[in-house]
Copies of this chain bind each other. A is one copy, B any other.
């Protein structure tokens, strides 16, 4: 657990620009405010935002890559592990601090698992839902990565 936590703070970044971004966090007597703005830390204007919650601990979500669209993931409560894979390298990030988000660029396979029972994962996406942008099998993803490398 401690090892995972360190990995989330100082990650080895994967090849295709996966990176952790810091969200502004303000605590005062009125509570806590966490801010995500287009520009920083979101490297895009979000056209879609969704929230994942009530995920049974053994379930895996995500399991896709996107061709052109990108995402930014923030765990608002609880914790979740995010696995990212650029077709060559694979890395896990433990998200458990709402002031830290993970940018997942296009053509990166991502999966989310080990949701704590109270976890709420916020996902900002650079485009509205478009099924044509999704790559839903890992084999197809790897084929596309290899093709783009030629």
A45 to B51, CA, bound (A): 17
- Please report which residues of chain A, range 88-142, place their CB below 8 angstroms from some CB of chain B when the two chains form the complex: 98, 115, 120, 122, 124, 128-129
Assuming the contacts A29-B59, A49-B49, asked whether A76 and B37 have C-beta atoms less than 8 A apart, the reply is no
Q: How large is the interface on A (under 10, 10 to 19, 20 to 34, 35 or more residues)?
A: 35 or more
Partner of A36, one of B31, B50, B54, B59: B50
A35 touches B56 (CB 8 A): no
A37 to B49, CA, bound (A): 6
A53 touches B30 (CB 8 A): no
- Please report which residues of chain A, range 27-77, place their CB below 8 angstroms from some CB of chain B when the two chains form the complex: 27, 29-39, 45-56, 59-61, 76-77
* Stoichiometry (number of copies): 2
Assuming the contacts A30-B55, A77-B77, asked whether A48 and B36 have C-beta atoms less than 8 A apart, the reply is yes
A39 to B47, CA, bound (A): 9
A49 to B34, CA, bound (A): 8
Chain B positions within 8 Å of A76 at CB level: 51, 53, 76, 120
A34 touches B47 (CB 8 A): no
A34 to B115, CA, bound (A): 16
Q: Footprint of B on A, CB under 8 Å?
A: 27, 29-39, 45-56, 59-61, 76-77, 98, 115, 120, 122, 124, 128-129
Instruction: Show 9 A/B contacts (Cβ-Cβ < 8 Å), sorted by A.
Output: A31-B59, A32-B52, A34-B53, A35-B129, A46-B46, A46-B49, A49-B122, A49-B124, A76-B76
